[in-house]
């Protein structure tokens, strides 16, 4: 892997972002409006169900952060595909790893800015002071969310390469099923028994469980953090070989050419 190629791709992404400022609106608009909606909900139920309101608000902060970290990686790839420039990047000697790594770095930087904004908004506009009071825990949960989302983004990149350009919608929609099964606002026990083991290995389950515990009990069981870390790293560890194998296969079945031009 050549680092200057990764830097070149990051430079390019930066220029694209600067030239197309509407992208900033795209990335900020949905997360911020979502947090405002649930922040207002949280404020309105303050007297009756403060805990529920906070739970919905804070889970949404992490959900939006995770979604942004994953989808911006995959949407950048789809953007290259639809603009027809993907093939020309790969024929310039950029490897599949250099390409995805650059995307991950850019998305992580972008999402980091957004999550700071979302946390700031929640704390200062909607009194989610619990986030500041447990700042180190919040940082840990944020890192776990980021690692899990990166793992998902690499996995989704592989899926799109395997299935073809027509499945580009996975770049923004795929996270929904993982969040659903990660039990964001409810306990895992609401799932039928057969689903529960699946739910426990979902990327965000331990993170959401940790948030619920933090809000209700004021602490997070370290086991949840450890399990969350293991699962997030496992996603990342499995997704890279999957992506690399699919990329190799896409060169054989012509999918890379179809994706790229």
Least distance in Å: CB of 102 to other proteins?
11
Alpha-carbon span 5 to 202, nearest angstrom: 33
Q: How many CA atoms lie within 13 A of 112 on its CB side?
A: 11
Is residue 189 involved in binding other proteins (CB under 8 A)? no
Region binding other proteins by CB under 8 A among candidate stretches 29-37, 53-61, 171-179, 250-258: 250-258
Distance of CA 191 to the CA centre of its chain: 23
Is residue 93 involved in binding other proteins (CB under 8 A)? yes
Q: Which of 54, 69, 181, 256 binds other proteins (CB under 8 A)?
A: 256
Least distance in Å: CB of 97 to other proteins?
10
Alpha-carbon span 209 to 58, nearest angstrom: 12
Q: Which of 27, 38, 62, 90 binds other proteins (CB under 8 A)?
A: 90
Q: Which of 35, 60, 69, 94 binds other proteins (CB under 8 A)?
A: 94
Q: Give residues with Cβ within 8 angstroms of 84, minimum separation 6.
A: 260, 261
Q: What is the dihedral of CA 219, 220, 222, 224, to 10 degrees?
A: 170
Q: Which two tokens stand for residue 224?
A: 């949840």
Q: Which of 87, 162, 201, 213 binds other proteins (CB under 8 A)?
A: 87
Q: Judged by CB, which is closer to other proteins: 43, or 95? A: 95
Alpha-carbon span 23 to 40, nearest angstrom: 26
Q: Which of 4, 166, 192, 222 binds other proteins (CB under 8 A)?
A: 4
The neighbour count for residue 139, using CB atoms within 10 Å, is 10
Alpha-carbon span 261 to 249, nearest angstrom: 17
Is residue 105 involved in binding other proteins (CB under 8 A)? no
Which residues would be at the binding site for other proteins (CB under 8 A)? 2, 4-5, 7-9, 11-12, 15-16, 19-20, 79-80, 83-85, 87-95, 251-254, 256-257, 260-261
């Amino acid at each position: 892997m050549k680092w200057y190629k990764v830097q070149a791709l990051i430079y390019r992404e930066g220029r694209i972002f600067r030239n197309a400022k509407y992208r900033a609106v795209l990335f900020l608009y949905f997360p911020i409006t979502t947090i405002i909606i649930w922040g207002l909900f949280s404020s309105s139920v303050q007297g009756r169900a403060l805990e529920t309101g906070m739970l919905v608000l804070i889970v949404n902060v992490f959900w939006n952060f995770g979604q942004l970290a994953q989808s911006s990686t995959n949407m950048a790839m789809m953007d290259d595909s639809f603009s027809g420039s993907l093939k020309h990047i790969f024929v310039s000697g950029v490897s599949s790893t250099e390409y995805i790594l650059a995307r991950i770095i850019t998305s992580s930087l972008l999402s980091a800015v957004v999550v700071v904004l979302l946390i700031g908004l929640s704390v200062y506009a909607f009194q989610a002071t619990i986030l500041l009071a447990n700042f180190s825990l919040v940082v840990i949960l944020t890192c776990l969310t980021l690692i899990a989302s990166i793992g998902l983004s690499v996995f989704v990149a592989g899926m799109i390469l395997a299935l073809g350009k027509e499945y580009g919608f996975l770049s923004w929609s795929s996270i929904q099923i993982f969040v659903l099964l990660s039990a964001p606002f409810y306990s895992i026990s609401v799932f039928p028994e057969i689903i529960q083991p699946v739910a426990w290995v979902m990327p965000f389950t331990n993170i959401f469980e940790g948030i619920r515990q933090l809000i209700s009990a004021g602490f997070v069981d370290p086991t949840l953090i450890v399990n969350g870390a293991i699962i997030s790293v496992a996603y990342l560890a499995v997704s890279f070989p999957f992506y690399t194998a699919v990329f190799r296969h896409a060169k054989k079945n012509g999918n890379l050419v179809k994706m790229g031009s």
